[in-house]
Amino acid sequence: MLQFIKKTFIHETFESVTFWGVLFFCFMASIASAIFTAMEDLGKVAAIYTAFITFYFVILAIVAQMTKKHQACYSAMCFALNTLILPPMFFICGGLNSGMPFYCITSLLITSLISNFRTRVIMAIYSLILYTSILFYDWYNPELSPPLEPFDTILDQVVSFVFMALLIFTTVSYLLKAYHLERQKKDEVIAKLDYLSTHDPLTGLYNRRIFIERIRNQVLSSPAGYYLLMFDIDYFKQINDTYGHLFGDQVLESIGQLAKNICNREGEMAVRYGGEEFILLICEDNYTSALAKAEDFRKRVSAIKFEDQPNVSINISGGFIDCYNPNFSNYDKILTVVDERLYTAKSNGRNQIIGKY
């Protein structure tokens, strides 16, 4: 039983949770109504009818469990409540002097949770007109409802109020929780999509698009203090072919983590430009310090050790430039020069960084 409740209220859809929750309260209310009908001695018709209602809810629960058509069963439950159950019960159980008006009001809340918009509106309008007519009709014809003793009246009204108040409170609380959970999921999806739009999913570094935007919007307008290191992994294709792509991904992740750690100053960024090619945007006070930082990074990469392949050493070749150069009027010129220096580093034997010629 506990497993069923846990599965229903945690893992099932909104329609199924709403159906089982409302059905449970309606079932309990029908039992309470049957008990008080017997206590108030309202006659055999009232007793039989309340028993029929309880039986109806049991049958509806069985059908819903077997067919899993919770939306259709919920609509059937609302139709039965507003047509076959509450209108007759209103007059059988004491009319305006009983707790039935609370049930009529709550039925509109239950009806408002029908998922199909057209069915919901039609049922709500029908119920509103029906219950308004019933209230006026009973007021004009009080003899239609059996008289209740004062104590029975207040007892019936209090019990009905408590049941319906609990139903309303539980329903609204669940709806608010469902809304907040849905909003939280939506915010998480948006945050994830926003992250993926700016970062490389494997290494966690910034991607090429966000780097280009940074160069065009910030570095070109105020280039002083910015330096660029473009590098790639030496013989990375051979590493993939020899040790497999999973190990190749491990290499990329390790270098990516090292790049994030070294780009720790405000304004710096580490970028996976594509494949095994990376870029570090370095902020330093002068060219010498920036180049020293790039060299320190190269040495740290060479010192990386892998538990699965302890004999494998990774090296990088890179091109290095000072962004503060009047010839760098646009992004393409910056990338052309730094790419040429990267090519020179590879041509000169790899595992080195080429700055000024």
The structure tokens 């750690």 sit at 261
Q: Which of 59-63, 120-124, 171-175, 332-336 has the lowest mean pLDDT?
A: 171-175
Give yes or no for residue 356 having a pLDDT over 80: no
Rounded average pLDDT over 234-244:
92
> Other C-beta atoms within 10 Å of 250: how many?
16
* Res 295: pLDDT: 95
Q: How far apart, in whole angstroms, are the C-alpha atoms of residue 185 and residue 240?
A: 37
* Res 84: pLDDT: 83
Cα Dmax for the chain: 108
The structure tokens 């990375």 sit at 236
* Res 357: pLDDT: 54
Can you read off the two tokens belonging to residue 274?
């594509």
User: pLDDT confidence of 346, banded at 50, 70, 90?
Assistant: very high
User: pLDDT confidence of 12, banded at 50, 70, 90?
Assistant: low
Domain ranges of the chain: 2-192, 208-354
Give yes or no for residue 182 having a pLDDT over 80: yes
CATH architecture assigned to 208-354: 2-Layer Sandwich (3.30)
Can you read off the two tokens belonging to residue 344?
């020179």
**Residue 20 burial (CB < 10 Å; 0-12/13-18/19+)?**
buried
Tens digits of residue pLDDT in 94-131:
888 888 888 888 888 888 888 888 988 998 899 899 99
Give yes or no for residue 8 having a pLDDT over 60: no
Per-residue CA distances from 170 to 158, 164, 189, 284 (Å): 18, 10, 28, 60
Q: Between vectors from CA 41 to CA 35 and to CA 47, what angle results, nearest 5°?
A: 55
Q: Which of 77, 130, 65 is nearest to 104 (CA)?
A: 130
Give φ, ψ of 85 to 5 degrees: -105, -65
Contacts 24+ apart (CB under 8 A), 132-135: 134/87, 134/90, 134/104, 135/96, 135/101, 135/104
Rounded average pLDDT over 321-339:
88
**Residue 3 burial (CB < 10 Å; 0-12/13-18/19+)?**
exposed
H or E element that contains 273: strand 269-274
For residue 311, the number of C-alpha atoms closer than 13 Å in the C-beta half-sphere is 2
User: pLDDT confidence of 353, banded at 50, 70, 90?
Assistant: very high
- Amino acid 310 reads P
Give yes or no for residue 201 having a pLDDT over 80: yes
With the C-alpha atoms ordered 160, 161, 165, 171, is the resulting torsion angle positive or negative?
positive
* Res 91: pLDDT: 84
> Other C-beta atoms within 10 Å of 238: how many?
9
User: Chain centroid to CA 235: how far?
Assistant: 42
User: Chain centroid to CA 147: how far?
Assistant: 54
* Res 7: pLDDT: 52
- Amino acid 57 reads F
* Res 315: pLDDT: 95
Q: Partners of 277 in the beta sheet?
A: 232, 274
The rounded mean pLDDT for the chain is 86
* Res 38: pLDDT: 67
* Res 41: pLDDT: 63
Rounded average pLDDT over 238-252:
92
Tens digits of residue pLDDT in 31-85:
777 776 666 666 677 777 777 888 888 888 888 888 888 888 888 888 888 888 8
* Res 269: pLDDT: 94
* Res 248: pLDDT: 92
Contact 283, 226 (CB under 8 A): yes
For residue 142, give the 3-state DSSP assignment: helix
* Res 344: pLDDT: 94
* Res 309: pLDDT: 87
Q: How far apart, in whole angstroms, are the C-alpha atoms of residue 93 and residue 97?
A: 9
This prediction has a pTM of: 0.62
* Res 1: pLDDT: 47
* Res 162: pLDDT: 87
Q: Partners of 282 in the beta sheet?
A: 227
Q: How far apart, in whole angstroms, are the C-alpha atoms of residue 142 and residue 329?
A: 91
